Amino acid sequence: MDLPLLKLILQILLAVLGLLTIMFVLLHKGRGGGLSDMFGGGVSSSASASGVAERNLNRLTVGVAVSWGLCAIGLGIVEKLL
């Protein structure tokens, strides 16, 4: 594969994964005591959200964030080779 093409693909992938990471982090439920309380998130019930959807969102967020990190490392390696 051509290195400039690989660099372009990694740059696009890095941008998309970065936006997905931001979106998934913002989808998480506020746990209280932080910025979520300042913006009205402190009114939520005291029951912890440990449902299947929250666990799957956690896994998805971690997976996308790790993929973003690997993509950034790959882009650094390609930059070094060019």
Ramachandran sector of residue 32 (left: φ over 0; alpha: ψ -120 to 50; beta: rest): left
CA distances from 55 to 12, 40, 45, 47, 59 (A): 28, 24, 18, 15, 6
Please report, rounded to a whole number, the percentage of residues in the chain having pLDDT higher than 90.
55
10 Å Cβ neighbour count for 9? 15
Give pLDDT tens digits for 32-57: 655 555 666 555 555 555 688 888 99
pTM over 0.85: no
Report residue 79: phi and psi, to 5°: -60, -40
> Tokens at residue 1, please?
């594969």
